């Protein structure tokens, strides 16, 4: 608590912030090299009153309605959430999604994703807005939350531009949300036992991160991939072994059903596939990073000597199960390395979250719980339908931020999409404004 002193100098992160109070605890001036958002966050945390933005209050409004839009990659998704900040109850009344079919293309093509969003987004928004108006007599939402990054710029722009237009038309605030923050916070939507601090494994097609979180806006990345993400590796290895579908990781999950311990089953052909556990030997042994591209190389090398058409159906399944298991084993190895090397970060943390598309996988969930139960008391996952990209998580992360800042936070209409937006920079990069 810094309230009440005439002048004060605080040390936040790497910069000094000089603050002058009016004698009653209201900030009348500050000086710092930081963006206002970082300073305001620090002041709000310390419950200091900000005259420019009104007196800091805990809650200003009862039930409010949120329209959420997600278009960061290949899913066009729109959701509607009703949130009561007093009871902390949130009701999801719509969660629509249309996924680009990239089966023929063999991977996501950015221009095709952009076109998909352009074709889909307006109909989804119009459908939800009409239903809210006609069925529930709610003419407009109170807030628009939209994914601002990280992601593909063409994809992000489609959602962001529409959100800006709706914000003007309905005269309601716009909040640009970090996509990974959506994955990280969404387990808290229904699981009220999940409190800060906690550790998250965010494992999707675009990211694999181990994160330490102490509040809605404060996150430290402890381990990340030096090359591709775990989901991308599952998808590419799956494609190499002839699996096809919109989500190959999910197809592989279903294809390997019934094979729970693939390394316990011996097979003279499949035993020749040397699957790696990267960054665990020699000088890289202690590196706190994941690496998933070596799995693809190993699978390709094996298939050169043992083409798919020479394998029996069972060998094919066993190969898929071993690839999946090796990727998950690598994730576990590196989480354990990180715990060993960063023990102070894990003190006083008892909750472990796994979120993102790959967290839908039950074999991964079981493995995490089996190997990490000595380090964590509770394990938390989103409902399966909220593991892969969706707009509900964007609406929920927006709500968490909106309430944290007494419903005063929003973005101006000149914001741009952000291709790379690290979780550690939630406040530093985004130009939030505070309206009270
Ligand atoms: O979170 P997400 O929808 O998109 C990104 O933000 O990247 O994750 C998509 C990834 C894909 O790689 C997909 O194959 C994988 O999640 N995935 C799964 C499962 N369901 C989706 N991987 C393993 N098991 C699943 N059940
Ligand atoms: Zn995602």
- Of 231, 248, 320, 420, the one to substitute when testing ligand 1's pocket (max ligand atoms within 8 A of C-beta) is 231
Q: If you take atom 25 of ligand 1, which residue's CA is the nearest one?
A: 250
Helix (H) or strand (E) holding 164: helix 153-170
β-pair partners for 66: 81, 143
Q: Is the CB of 247 under 6 A from ligand 1?
A: yes
Q: Is the CB of 74 under 6 A from ligand 1?
A: no
Closest CA to 46 of 10, 7, 6, 85: 10
pLDDT in tens, 49-84: 655 444 333 445 689 999 999 999 989 999 999 999
Q: Which residues contact 210 (CB under 8 A, 6 or more apart)?
A: 199, 200, 201, 202, 221, 222, 223, 224, 334, 335, 338
What is the number of the ligand 1 atom nearest to the C-alpha of 248?
14
Report the separation in Å between the CA atom of 13 and the middle of ligand 2, taken as the mean of its atom positions: 28
Q: Tokens for 327?
A: 């990727």
CA dist 307 and 300 (Å) reads: 10
Per-residue pLDDT, 240 = 97
- Going by the DSSP 8-state scheme, the letter that residue 192 receives in this structure is T
Per-residue pLDDT, 56 = 38
Q: Which residues contact 36 (CB under 8 A, 6 or more apart)?
A: 434
CA dist 125 and 115 (Å) reads: 16
Report the separation in Å between the CA atom of 253 and the middle of ligand 1, taken as the mean of its atom positions: 10
Closest CA to 167 of 143, 147, 149: 143
Q: Which residues contact 254 (CB under 8 A, 6 or more apart)?
A: none
Does 428 or 130 have the greater pLDDT score?
130
CA dist 345 and 222 (Å) reads: 9
CATH class of the 64-186+389-434 domain in this structure:
alpha beta
pLDDT band at 22 (very low <50, low <70, confident <90, very high): low
Per-residue pLDDT, 284 = 83
Report the separation in Å between the CA atom of 327 and the middle of ligand 1, taken as the mean of its atom positions: 13
pLDDT band at 44 (very low <50, low <70, confident <90, very high): low
For the chain, count helices (H), then strands (E). Answer: 13, 16
Arithmetic mean of pLDDT, 147-170: 97
Q: Tokens for 75?
A: 């899913």
Per-residue pLDDT, 419 = 96
- Contact between residue 200 and residue 397 where contact means Cβ atoms under 8 Å apart: no
Q: Is the CB of 249 under 6 A from ligand 1?
A: yes
CA dist 165 and 121 (Å) reads: 13
pLDDT band at 280 (very low <50, low <70, confident <90, very high): very high
Q: Tokens for 269?
A: 């052909």
Q: Tokens for 141?
A: 């939402």
For tokens 């387990």, the residue is 187
Per-residue pLDDT, 106 = 78
Report the separation in Å between the CA atom of 181 and the middle of ligand 2, taken as the mean of its atom positions: 10
Alpha-carbon torsion, ordered 228, 233, 239, 243, to 10 deg: -150
Strands 208-213 and 198-203: antiparallel
Check whether 222 has a pLDDT greater than 90: yes
Domain 64-186+389-434 identical in fold to domain 198-381: yes
**Distance linking the first and last C-alpha atoms of the chain:** 22
Closest CA to 358 of 330, 316, 397: 330
CA dist 46 and 2 (Å) reads: 7
pLDDT band at 38 (very low <50, low <70, confident <90, very high): low
Q: Is the CB of 182 under 6 A from ligand 1?
A: no
Arithmetic mean of pLDDT, 308-335: 97
What is the CATH T-level fold of the domain 198-381, as seen in this structure?
Nucleotidyltransferase; domain 5 (3.30.420)
Arithmetic mean of pLDDT, 40-44: 66
Per-residue pLDDT, 258 = 92
- Contact between residue 35 and residue 25 where contact means Cβ atoms under 8 Å apart: no
Strands 27-31 and 89-99: unpaired
Check whether 144 has a pLDDT greater than 50: yes
- Of 324, 355, 358, the one to substitute when testing ligand 1's pocket (max ligand atoms within 8 A of C-beta) is 358
Check whether 375 has a pLDDT greater than 90: yes
CA dist 271 and 264 (Å) reads: 11
Q: Strand (E) positions, 237-362?
A: 289-290, 351-355
- Locate the domains of the chain by residue range: 6-59, 64-186+389-434, 198-381
* Alpha-carbon separation of residue 19 from 1, 36, 271, 431 (angstroms): 13, 13, 65, 21
Burial of 86 (0-12, 13-18, 19+ CB in 10 A): exposed
- Contact between residue 194 and residue 380 where contact means Cβ atoms under 8 Å apart: yes
Per-residue pLDDT, 43 = 67
Report the separation in Å between the CA atom of 272 and the middle of ligand 1, taken as the mean of its atom positions: 28
Arithmetic mean of pLDDT, 373-380: 97
Main-chain phi, psi angles of 129, to 5 degrees: -60, -40
Q: Is the CB of 70 under 6 A from ligand 1?
A: no
Percent of the chain with pLDDT over 70: 86
β-pair partners for 275: none
What is the number of the ligand 1 atom nearest to the C-alpha of 183?
1
């Amino acid at each position: 608590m810094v309230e009440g002193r005439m002048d004060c100098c605080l040390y936040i992160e790497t910069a000094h912030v000089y603050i002058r109070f009016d004698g009653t605890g209201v900030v009348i001036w500050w000086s710092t090299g930081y963006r206002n958002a970082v300073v305001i966050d620090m002041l709000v945390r310390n419950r200091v009153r900000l005259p420019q933005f009104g007196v800091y209050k805990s809650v200003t409004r009862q039930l409010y309605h949120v329209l959420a839009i997600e278009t960061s990659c290949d899913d066009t998704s729109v959701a509607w959430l009703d949130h009561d900040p007093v009871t902390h109850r949130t009701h999801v009344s719509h969660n629509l999604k249309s996924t680009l079919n990239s089966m023929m293309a063999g991977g996501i093509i950015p221009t095709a994703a952009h076109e998909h969003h352009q074709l889909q987004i307006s109909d989804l928004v119009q459908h939800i807005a009409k239903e809210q108006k006609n069925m529930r007599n709610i003419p407009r939402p109170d807030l628009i939350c939209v994914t601002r990054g990280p992601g593909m710029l063409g994809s992000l722009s489609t959602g962001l531009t529409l959100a800006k237009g709706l914000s003007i038309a309905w005269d309601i605030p716009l909040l640009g949300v970090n996509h990974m923050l959506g994955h990280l916070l969404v387990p808290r939507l229904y699981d009220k036992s999940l409190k800060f601090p906690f550790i998250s494994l965010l494992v999707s097609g675009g990211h694999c991160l181990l994160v330490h979180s102490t509040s809605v806006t404060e996150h430290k990345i402890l381990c990340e991939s030096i090359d591709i993400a775990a989901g991308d590796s599952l998808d590419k290895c799956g494609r190499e072994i002839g699996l096809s579908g919109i989500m190959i990781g999910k197809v592989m999950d279903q294809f390997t059903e019934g094979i729970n311990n693939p390394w316990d089953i011996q097979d003279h052909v499949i035993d020749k596939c040397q699957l790696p556990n990267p960054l665990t030997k020699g000088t890289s042994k202690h590196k706190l990073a994941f690496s998933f591209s070596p799995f693809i190389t190993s699978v390709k090398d094996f298939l050169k000597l043992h083409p798919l058409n020479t394998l029996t159906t069972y060998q094919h399944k066993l190969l898929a199960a071993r690839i999946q298991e090796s990727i998950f084993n690598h994730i576990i190895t590196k989480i354990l390395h990180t715990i060993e090397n960063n023990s102070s970060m894990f003190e006083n943390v008892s909750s472990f979250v796994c979120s993102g598309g790959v967290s839908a996988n039950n074999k991964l969930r079981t493995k995490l719980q089996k190997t990490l139960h000595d380090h964590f008391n509770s394990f938390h996952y989103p409902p399966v339908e909220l593991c892969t990209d969706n707009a509900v998580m964007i609406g929920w992360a927006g709500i968490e931020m909106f309430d944290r800042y007494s419903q005063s936070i929003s973005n101006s209409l000149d914001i741009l999409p952000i291709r790379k937006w690290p979780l550690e920079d939630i406040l530093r990069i985004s130009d939030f404004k505070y309206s009270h």
